Amino acid sequence: MRVQVAIIGAGPSGLLLGQLLHRAGIDAIILERKSGEYVLGRIRAGVLEQGAVDLLDEAGVGKRLHAEGLVHGGIELCFDGERHRIDMAGLTGGKHVTVYGQTEVTRDLMDARAAAGATTVYEAEDVSIHGFDTDSPVVRYRKDGVTHEIACDFIAGCDGFHGVCRESLPANAVKHYERVYPFGWLGILADVPPVSHELIYVNHPRGFALCSMRSRTRSRYYVQVPLDEKIEEWPDERFWDELKRRVDTQAASTIVTGPSIEKSIAPLRSYVAEPMRFGRLLLAGDAAHIVPPTGAKGLNLAASDVRYLSRALIDHYRSGSMKEVDAYSGKCLRRVWKAVRFSWWMTSMLHRFPDTGEFGQKIQETELAYLVGSKAASTSLAENYVGLPFED
Ligand code: RFL
Ligand code: PHB
């Protein structure tokens, strides 16, 4: 079999790239290790920058997002027991974010791909990539006991942090930058109305908390927990009690509790692999970088990589030039590092670190007080949160 682009991974990066290429008449196959239901069952990000919304529109999958997504023009920061609103729209000339779950984005992209009749091979085993340092790369995989081989022009590594693509690079071809944080987020999803119509990020001596949502009837809440925490030790009751201890008294008295429909612990990490391109292998999304979720940037960075990658490949097939493919890694990484910095900064300001003590807590509260009291500082947060501009 031969295709123009072989995409590894059917998460948001791979599916969105597949859709944009399909609309440009470029032939691509997607190989995914897991089943479609498994991919849809992963509860992850919830906040889309305008740039990500625009790209989903461009891919022709924006209809349900516009009908059901919640448009937010601000967030609240809670510290020292009080909430302060950051007027993101007011500070950025009217920009906002849209709350719409990654699960829904994935579902919309899967439906569009099925409607287009494009091929996704789910439960593709032992995917391996070869010859990406030549002009004729090859991808192999196994399905139902049969080995298949695909010849292609390019391989798009959209296979997430634990994927095979980055791992296949020669060790001396890639530099890794990493910071692992000494805590994780325990998150629950529950069919209860959100406590506030905007997100609340909480700094508290007991640890960070976040009140988020998926819709007007479905809430997503998180609390910071130590890395070795066991999910079995967190029955719903304990989660709700801990959340109420961290938010302000007004929120604590109005939070509606209910049975969780999902509960998981996610570790926090900052990671970047440089460069994001090696010959005819191009990495996108979590395959190339990870940010802690505090800045709500993971899914948005995946979309911005795909924006640059789809444009580079479309330009190549129209003009025959490799100029945009050559520029891909540099363009992505300049934007990636800004989001890595922002996510690290939000994480540092809002979480309890085991070794910084009461001094660290005072510094954080002072930084937050400065932030909410200074238009310059609030604007810096707001322009990063709604999403920094693209290069083209
Ligand atoms: P994904 O979503 O991980 O998709 C990669 C896909 O590749 C498949 N795969 C393979 N397929 C074939 N062969 C192989 N060898 C393969 N190895 C892997 C995987 O099964 C998967 O389907 O990466 P993508 O598309 O780049 O999308 C990125 C986003 O998913 C990610 O940035 C965000 O979800 C990050 N993230 C969060 N971001 C936020 O903005 N807010 C959040 O609250 C938030 N929560 C999270 C998260 C990421 C998590 N991870 C990665 C563990 C919570 C978690 C638990
Ligand atoms: C979420 O709703 O899952 C969410 C929202 C904002 C974040 C992280 C996660 O910063």
pLDDT in tens, 244-302: 999 999 999 999 999 999 999 999 999 999 999 999 999 999 999 999 999 999 999 99
25 backbone dihedrals φ, ψ, rounded to 5°? 80, 20
pLDDT at 113 over 90: yes
pLDDT of residue 392: 80
User: What is the position in ligand 2's atom list of the atom closest to the CA of 293?
Assistant: 8
Q: What is the CATH number of the domain that holds 302?
A: 3.50.50.60
The yes-or-no answer on residue 385 being catalytic is yes
Number of domains in the chain: 2
Give CA–CA dist 186/191, Å, rounded: 17
Q: What is the CATH number of the domain that holds 224?
A: 3.30.9.10
pLDDT at 385 over 90: yes
| 62 Cβ closer than 6 Å to some ligand 2 atom | no
Average pLDDT for 227-236: 97
User: What is the position in ligand 1's atom list of the atom closest to the CA of 159?
Assistant: 7
Same-domain status, 143 and 242: no
Tell me the whole-structure pTM to 2 decimals: 0.97
Domain assignment of residue 59, yes or no: no
- Residue numbers of the domain that contains 215: 181-264+350-371
Domain assignment of residue 65, yes or no: no
Q: Which of 72, 289, 316, 351 is catalytic?
A: 72
- What is the CA(346)–ligand 2 centre distance, in A? 12
Q: Can you list the pairs that 386-390 forms with residues at least 24 positions away whose Cβ atoms lie under 8 Å?
A: 386/49, 386/50, 386/88, 386/92, 386/95, 386/96, 386/97, 387/49, 387/50, 387/51, 387/52, 387/95, 387/97, 387/300, 388/335, 388/338, 388/339, 390/51, 390/304, 390/307, 390/308, 390/335
Query: Which of 182-196, 232-246, 350-364 is the least confident region?
Result: 350-364
**For residue 154, what are the CA distances in angstroms to 137, 174, 313, 325, 370?**
7, 19, 9, 10, 48
Residue at token pair 């995914």: 32
Query: Which residue's CA lies nearest to atom 32 of ligand 1?
Result: 298
Query: Which residue's CA lies nearest to atom 1 of ligand 2?
Result: 46
Domain assignment of residue 35, yes or no: yes
Pocket of ligand 2, candidates 43, 203, 212, 213: which has the most ligand atoms within 8 Å of its Cβ, to mutate?
212
